Amino acid sequence: MDLDTILQGFATILTPEHLLVAFLGCFAGTFFGVLPGLGPVTAIAVLFPLTTYLDPVSGILMLAAVYYGGMYGGSTTAILLNIPGEVSSLPSALEGYPLTKRGRAGAALATAAVSSFFAGIVGTIGVMLIGPSLAHFALAFGPPEQFGLILFSLTAISGLVSGSMVKGLAMAVLGMLLSLVGYDAISGAQVLTFGSWTLAQGFSVVPVMIGLFGIGEILKTLLQRDPDTSVAKVGSLMPTREERRASVGPTVRGTFQGFFLGLIPGMLPSVTSFLNYSWERRRGERRGDSRFGRGAIEGIAGPEAANNGAAMGGFVPLFSLGIPTGPSMALILAALLVYGLVPGPTLFTERSDFTAGIIASFLVANVILLVLNLPLVGLWAKIARVPFSIMGPIVIVCCLVGALLERNSTFDVGVCAAFGFIALLLDRARLPLAPLVMGFILGPSLQQTMRQSFTMSPTFFAERPIFVFFAVLSLATVGWSVFRAVRTRRESAPRSSRPRAARERAGRAGSDR
């Protein structure tokens, strides 16, 4: 991607219409982010139908801005109210709320905003530099290589996100089965419809995602008690010299850790946030720093930079290979498909003007987010204090309307509501949602590339080195997940649960002594 193309992308984005879209996206995303229990995935799912009425650049720009805003909003409530808007904001709650009680809430919020901004800018540059190179490499991918990559993505997310490979793979298979309902794209036969003409139209991605991440999350939150929402004073937004100096290193480390880990399927922003927090805490303990857990600014700067860096890193495999690294990227992939855009190398070759505009929009959205949200901290705190028993039903109605607008079908409204209850049941059963989503999104591509691969050669799996590489990675991921589960089970097992033979041997050894 040359300089002229990038400048053309900025010329496309820096128009009043696109700037307004970016502003509304940042505002709406932050609004959802400050609501307890909700986050960027829910925000994207709820607002997804509205973006289908926009042109592709405006639609992806709004979804990206919603994504950033949702992540920032979660850190705001985590610092002010000790209520993480999402999992990746938990480190900010651990370190930010003690600072709030000491009257340093403004400094904590400013540090989170600046760290997120720095990570967003550096991550955008990373997308600009790494994306085209990876896209040129992906031009050598045929159906077998794509089949192997999708297989690795599903196994990686099933193992890394769910914690249990069996549960993760089971949910991924369930998602793939749900994606097959309707007419087969190749044979034209009905699949898993059980003779129902209603099911023959299949499950559209929009109502399914709104149900899982919109209605499902709201129902889970409504069943919980409203938390204490007393808000302390924000105070000055200017960190002290010592706080600024202490946050520089964690911000830089978190940015690069998050970005490169974000390239790997399954490495969600929440995962990178916790990894960085544990790293920074260990570094502090080695230096004899006892502030962690009681209000360390490093515990805010590093994780906030890491989750934003991972968010940006996820766009590289999405645009270059068509592989989402998590639920948020899966929703943006669905948006690209709705617009008729096929993610992959062609986005950087045949549609370089579109890709340049999107990359330029990332920079613009990060600037808007920084300028918009710091002055509105008081507003977000007041919104977070509204009882969720009032806000939740309003959002549910918006979800159902959004599901109806996608195809003007009452069947989609029922699908949306049904998948909302399915998400609630899965949460109660402690079954992971991310593998199901990835299976639903990637299932048709997995089926198509597998068919094409066997058509090309029945022994393709032994003839294509890149496929073999991804197959080995998939097996290694499964093996590592099983090993980790066995080791965790052994470490957590009580002494009395050891096998009788082991206890008898231990007893004999003790009597011999």
* CA separation for the pair 482, 505 (Å, rounded): 28
Give the model's pLDDT for residue 381: 66
pLDDT at site 502: 47
pLDDT of amino acid 210: 77
- pLDDT of 256 > 70? The answer is yes
In the predicted model, is pLDDT for residue 91 greater than 70? Answer: yes
Residue 37: left (phi > 0), alpha (psi -120 to 50), or beta? left
Over residues 17-44, the mean pLDDT reads 80
196: phi then psi, degrees, rounded to nearest 5: -90, 125
**How confident is the model over 305-364, as pLDDT tens digits?**
888 888 888 888 888 877 777 777 777 887 777 777 777 777 777 777 778 888 888 888
**Residue type at 434?**
A
Task: Report whether pLDDT(302) > 80.
Answer: yes
Instruction: Check: CB of residue 295 under 8 Å from CB of residue 328.
Output: no
Q: Is residue 122 scored above 50 in pLDDT?
A: yes
Q: Where are the beta strands (DSSP E) in 375-513?
A: none
Angstrom distances, CA of residue 61 to CA of 51, 68, 94, 214, 292? 9, 11, 32, 20, 37
For residue 504, what pLDDT is reported?
A: 52
Residue percentage of the chain with pLDDT more than 90: 0
Q: What is the mean pLDDT of residues 206-227?
A: 73
pLDDT at 174 over 80: yes
SS3 assignment, position 275: helix
pLDDT greater at residue 87 or residue 107: 107
Query: Which stretch, 46-55, 111-120, 127-136, has highest mean pLDDT?
Result: 111-120
pLDDT at 158: 72
Q: Which residues pair with 191 in a beta bridge?
A: 182
Question: What's the pLDDT score for residue 289?
Answer: 67
In the structure, what pLDDT confidence band is assigned to residue 230 with cuts at 50, 70 and 90?
A: low
Mean pLDDT of the chain: 76
